[in-house]
Amino acid sequence: MTGTPTLSPVANETALHSAAGAQPADLPYRVALHRVHRLGSVRFALLERAFPSMEAAWRASEGELVECGLDARTAQAVARARSEIDPDTEMERMARAGVRPYARTGPGYPSRLREIDDVPPILYVRGEWAPDDEWSIAVVGTRRATAYGRQAATELTRGLAANSVTVVSGLARGVDTIAHRTALDTGGRTVAVLANGLDTIYPPENRRLADEIAERGAVVSDYPLGTKPRADFFPRRNRILSGLSLGTLIIEGDYQSGSMITARFALEQNRDVFAVPGSIFSPQSRGPLSLIRDGAMPVTGAEDILEALNLTQIGSQLDFGRAAPPESADEQALMATLTREPLHIDEVVRQSGLAPAIVSGTLALLELKGLVRDVGGMNFARVREDEASYDVSLPPESASAPDTTGRSTDGTAKDGRAS
């Protein structure tokens, strides 16, 4: 499944069109037909094959619709829709909402999504699906992420976004929200796939995040405007998450979680699946561990994904720049105490021997410098292991002495690759 990703001819054609590129002339009728509940991907395809245009399908009699292969109930639903839906009004409604519809037969439609079974006949987009978004990874996981899961989601997403990989996720609470937010904060692109119409944001607390994503990426759905979220919509939505992407990364999730559904879709679509190994005692690690047992690639850093998919050349190499070094003795003491494993602030106080007020203030400074992260619940961890060792028993010049071994403190080569 792996290999150097290339844009398909369809994607190259898409790249030549602007976001407002020439859509099929019958697009308003496609949109109107897509509002008919009983017209899914298979029945939509029947109409496309049977009629010269979807305008002709929209105007066809019930008998003609049955002749092309629709059952009587669906033909009746189409006939009834003609008295309830005006195609031009639907297009105006979407324009007011800042939403653009893309037909699977027209330019602008994501080429990788065309390759899957159950291709959405229409994809609704708020923002812009850019040609470079063809190089994307779906990052998904539980809504109830552990401190470890939150840290893994942040660091792995940052590595992908820093290498110009678009991050696709589902805007859900937990790992999805962390993935979107981290991609934006890193200056990368991100795409949110919803399980409802784009005029509704779920969960509601992510409205502002959805607005930011639309400004610097895209919010997409295969559900028409006005469609409210339903429990059974979310599993179907997950086929689009994996379908848009070169591969899917599972951070955390139990056996029956939505992230595992996304992983199964990815495997069915012949896409790569990556998983973050976790504790054998954590329910949230059961899903990823079972995937690894069945052949998914275990991931300990973004470079694992970049190398597996030959994505290391699409953007800058994985290098976040050198963070400002710790300056004071208090900062060095805390850096000597902290590791990549989250540590509660009370334990930081105990191990460092510093006063609680000093620890709290110094941790805030280290966060501003990009050296330390609060991973939730007052647990702190280093952003990464650095080449320098913060041993407060050594004078500053010794602590910053050059490493002649060619290896960083976490046992990897200094260029970030495992030896």
pLDDT tens string 335-360: 999 987 888 999 999 999 998 878 88
The reply to whether 313 falls in a domain is no
**Residues 244 and 292 both lie in one domain:** yes
Instruction: Please give the DSSP secondary-structure letter assigned to residue 323.
Output: P
Confidence of residue 4 (pLDDT cuts 50, 70, 90): very low
**Residues 84 and 139 both lie in one domain:** no
**Residues 70 and 137 both lie in one domain:** no
Closest residue by Cα to residue 372 from 331, 329, 413, 416: 331
Query: What is the CATH classification number for the domain harbouring 369?
Result: 1.10.10.10
**Residues 175 and 219 both lie in one domain:** yes
Confidence of residue 21 (pLDDT cuts 50, 70, 90): low
Cβ count near 23 (within 10 Å): 19
Q: How far is CA 106 from CA 17, 24, 109, 328, in A?
A: 10, 6, 6, 60
The reply to whether 114 falls in a domain is no
Mean pLDDT of 197-224: 97
Q: How far apart are CA 200 and CA 203, in angstroms?
A: 9
**Residues 163 and 252 both lie in one domain:** yes
So what's the pLDDT on residue 14?
Answer: 34
Q: How far apart are CA 120 and CA 34, in angstroms?
A: 10
So what's the pLDDT on residue 23?
Answer: 79
Q: Which of 273, 308, 343 is the last residue of a domain?
A: 308
Mean pLDDT of 13-25: 52
So what's the pLDDT on residue 272?
Answer: 95
Confidence check: pLDDT of 6 > 70: no
So what's the pLDDT on residue 19?
Answer: 42
The reply to whether 350 falls in a domain is yes
**Residues 336 and 302 both lie in one domain:** no
Query: What is the CATH classification number for the domain harbouring 204?
Result: 3.40.50.450
CA dihedral 139, 144, 149, 154 (to 10 degrees): 60
Structural domain span for residue 240: 131-308
**Residues 192 and 297 both lie in one domain:** yes
Confidence check: pLDDT of 7 > 60: no
The reply to whether 411 falls in a domain is no
Confidence of residue 384 (pLDDT cuts 50, 70, 90): low
Confidence of residue 313 (pLDDT cuts 50, 70, 90): low
The reply to whether 315 falls in a domain is no
Mean pLDDT of 299-304: 94
Residues facing 140 on adjacent strands: 250
**Residues 198 and 257 both lie in one domain:** yes
Of the two residues 332 and 171, the one the predictor is more confident about is 171
**Residues 68 and 213 both lie in one domain:** no
**Residues 299 and 356 both lie in one domain:** no
Residues 6+ apart with CB under 8 A from 256: none
Assess contact for 301 and 166: CB atoms under 8 A. Answer: no
**How many folded domains does the chain comprise?**
3
Lowest-confidence region among 208-217, 244-253, 342-351: 342-351
